Amino acid sequence: MTSQRTRSRLVQRLKDQGITDQQVLDVMANTPRHIFIDEALSHRAYEDTALPIGFNQTISQPYIVAKMTELLLAEGDLERVLEVGTGSGYQTTVLAQLVEKVFSVERIKPLQDKARQRFSLLKLHNISLRHCDGGMGWPDKGPFDGIIVTAAPEEVPPELLAQLAIGGRLVIPVGGSRHQLLKLVIRHSETEYETTVLEGVKFVPLLTGTVR
Ligand code: SAH
């Protein structure tokens, strides 16, 4: 169930759905998604679906992880990337294999703790984690070449726009009640941002405050 063949089948599905970035496909083929999911559900790890990870949260669907990563990387390699919503750490792990350094924030401490153990198991050493309300981003570590948000706010948080480097890319689901639009925002200059609306998506909401 966790074999290379099962993973290859998932990657074929991602290609069929329009993912073309070979780097992203290779990383998805080599990332063990089953270790990000509780054992009781791990037999479903290579299905192209979101799955519960506790605390009313979900590990993102592989297609959406691939899509958001591809959008982020479309203009070339990135150095510093901020992720809002570490969750299981699966998206973080995919990113960490494709960019220099990942900064990831999570508001639920027990999820962050589990993700940290997984990064150490996978020997990923280019990830920094912070327990905080990530709607504010991580100002001390910015500006970022890329920002990826894996929970949906009603509007794009201005703090995240401010922490985007010039030329930087923000990929974010926006909208209420578990149905949103995926948006790509590119910062062209100090004051100029270009927004492209991509497709309908379904994320858990971006919430305020933290859980210990
Ligand atoms: N990328 C994750 C997705 C997890 S679901 C994965 O593939 O597993 C979204 C995550 O965003 C949840 O863990 C949730 O707790 C977190 N989240 C929601 N609002 C947040 C906020 N304001 N700051 C930081 N994390 C937040």
**Pairing mode, strands 101-106 and 127-131:** parallel
At 62, the amino acid letter reads P
User: 86: CA distance to ligand 1 center in Å?
Assistant: 5
Q: Which residue owns the Cα nearest ligand 1 atom 12?
A: 87
Answer yes or no: 60 catalytic. yes
User: 88: CA distance to ligand 1 center in Å?
Assistant: 9
Give this prediction's pTM.
Answer: 0.97
User: 186: CA distance to ligand 1 center in Å?
Assistant: 22
> Which whole-number Å values give the CA distances from 104 to 39, 135, 196, 199, 201, in the listed order?
24, 12, 24, 24, 21
What is the tens place of the pLDDT at every residue in 134-151? Answer: 999 999 999 999 999 999
What is the distance between the alpha carbons of residues 149 and 170, in angstroms, rounded to a whole number?
8
Residue ranges of domains in the chain: 56-201
Question: Above 80 in pLDDT, residue 2?
Answer: no
Cβ–Cβ < 8 Å for 87, 53: yes
H or E segment and range at residue 185: strand 180-187
Closest approach atom of ligand 1 to CA 55: 15
Candidates 8, 42, 60, 104; catalytic one? 60
The β-bridge partners of 196 are: 184
Cβ–Cβ < 8 Å for 73, 10: no
**Ligand 1 binding pocket, CB closer than 6 Å:** 57-60, 84-85, 87-88, 90-91, 105-108, 111, 133-135, 150-151, 204, 206-207
CATH number of 56-201: 3.40.50.150
Q: Which residue owns the Cα nearest ligand 1 atom 11?
A: 85
Cβ–Cβ < 8 Å for 28, 10: yes
Nearest to 83 by CA among 67, 64, 68, 63: 68
What is the tens place of the pLDDT at every residue in 29-63? Answer: 999 999 999 999 999 999 999 999 999 999 999 99
Nearest to 211 by CA among 153, 136, 138, 132: 132
Going by C-beta distance under 8 Å and a sequence separation of 6 or more, which residues neighbour residue 82?
A: 102, 103, 104, 105, 137, 138, 141, 142, 144, 146, 147, 148, 160, 163
Closest approach atom of ligand 1 to CA 53: 8
Residue 178 or 32, more confident: 32
Q: What is the mean pLDDT of the chain?
A: 96
Closest approach atom of ligand 1 to CA 65: 7
Question: Above 70 in pLDDT, residue 1?
Answer: no
